Amino acid sequence: MKEERNQDQKYLKVLANQFKVMSQKGTVGFYEETVLEGLAEYFWKQDDLKMALEVVNWGIQLYPYSSSMIYLKAQLLYKMKEYPAALIELEKAIALDPLDADCKLLKAKMLIEMERYEQASETLEGVKIDSVSITDECNVHLCYATIYENLDRHAEMFDSLCQAIRSDWDNEEIIERLGLCVEFSQRHDDHIAFLNEYLNERPYSAIAWFNLGHSYWVIKDYDNAIDSFEFAFCIDKYYQQAYIDCADVYIKKKEYQKGLSCYEEAMENCPQDGELYVGKGNCLYMMKENEKALIAYKEATLISPKNAEGYYGLGLCYMETEQGYYALESFKMACKLDKRREEFAAALGEAYYMIGDMHSATEAFNRSIELAPEMSEYWVRLITFLMDEERYEEALESINSAFLNTYGTELLYCHAAYCFRTGNRNEGMNHFNEAITENYTMHASFLDLCPDLGKDNEILSIIATHRPK
């Protein structure tokens, strides 16, 4: 077979050279239709579309009623993005062979690219599904999916992709596309049901198990998510993202040792990667194994010097051991590598605070707020810092700004603490009552800011009144 293909290629090469010479001389003669089609496809593969089109035009002169030759011309024009001209040729081909699904599919694809979605849908309606090949049936549903995607109708896109997969169970690329679609449609329950159906047909599809794990994760069915991710990397032991996401679910469940095992297994099977070492470091850090975590983060930065997460992890470890200057350098590097991460900026503020550089700490905390003004936790950190420094006027300005940008019970507790610390007990009591009514468990953060009130009878009475029974 290989020898036959080589001979065909040699024959076509000779024929192509002959055709070029005759074309230049204007002496092109008669060719069999199949020969011309093969010659046009040869030039196409050589990326000589102009010459391929010349061959096809000659073929149409010789065989004016050949729908396949006209279709080939339409394909070439489509490839050259000459859509209006291609559509004219397709109409001719369809008139010659009204049942040709390939012509209608190409027409639909062109209309989609021209953003003429209604006409594309009408064209697809003319394709009789029960009389086409598996590939064509799949492509019809994929065309519908593309139309719905461009119209932001992701729920209908989801259904079309499912139909496409049912037409061709072996096409895993559509499984990937379905996984992206469900993020927009949020049809995770339907996604789970469909993937279970799919896995009954193709139980060894790693991507299907992986995507199933994600939908279980979204609906907070963590045990099934873990099982699905584990199936994915058992089928494909090099599936790095499956290990990482499985570890993340274990971390979500606070099962840090199992998360660590996922990262270690990934390291055995996958290429060295800074992300894996960062994940390992995160597990160790949460397990309070600071020295081991430090080693993992250092390894991450050696393998991937531009991995901002690795430097951030190093900084956290140094903060635990009160090595402020080392922490500061690590957080600086993290912020340099990724200027858009608010948690990096806030951590930098903590490091400056630890070494006593209050001006730089203020700048860093303010930077975290600039990056995420909607996140109350960073406002709380800035306000707490300002109150600890007895910069109460600035603290009040920040409280007012915070409530203009976001809302959170922790901000109410923070405002209450500000009032008590500045001698406004009545207003402080109002804010405290409002905050504890919203969220009882957060009152501990208020007592951290005002430890003396832990012995205040009125405060203790309010806490006792709201304590869950």
**For 211-254, what is each residue's pLDDT tens digit?**
999 999 999 999 999 999 999 999 999 999 999 999 999 999 99
Location of structure tokens 């461009």: 150
Residues 365 and 342 sit within 8 Å (Cβ to Cβ): no
- 251 φψ region: left (φ > 0), alpha (ψ -120 to 50), beta (else): alpha
Query: What digits encode the pLDDT tens for the residues 388-400?
Result: 999 999 999 999 9
Architecture of domain 1-98: Alpha Horseshoe (1.25)
Token pair of 310, please? 């690795």
Same fold, 272-369 and 373-469: yes
pLDDT value for 235? 97
Instruction: Give CA separation, 406 vs 15, 83, 245, 379, 398, in Å.
Output: 73, 50, 31, 9, 12
CATH of 373-469, one of 1.10.260, 2.60.40, 3.30.1360, 1.25.40: 1.25.40
The pair of structure tokens assigned to 76 is 């070439």
User: What is the reported pLDDT for 35?
Assistant: 78
Fold observed for domain 272-369: 1.25.40
Residues of the chain with pLDDT under 70: 1-11, 14, 16-21, 23-31, 129-132
Q: Where are the domains of the chain?
A: 1-98, 272-369, 373-469
Phi then psi for 375, rounded to 5 degrees?
-100, 110
* Nearby residues of 142 by Cβ (< 8 Å), 6 or more positions away: 160, 161, 164, 174
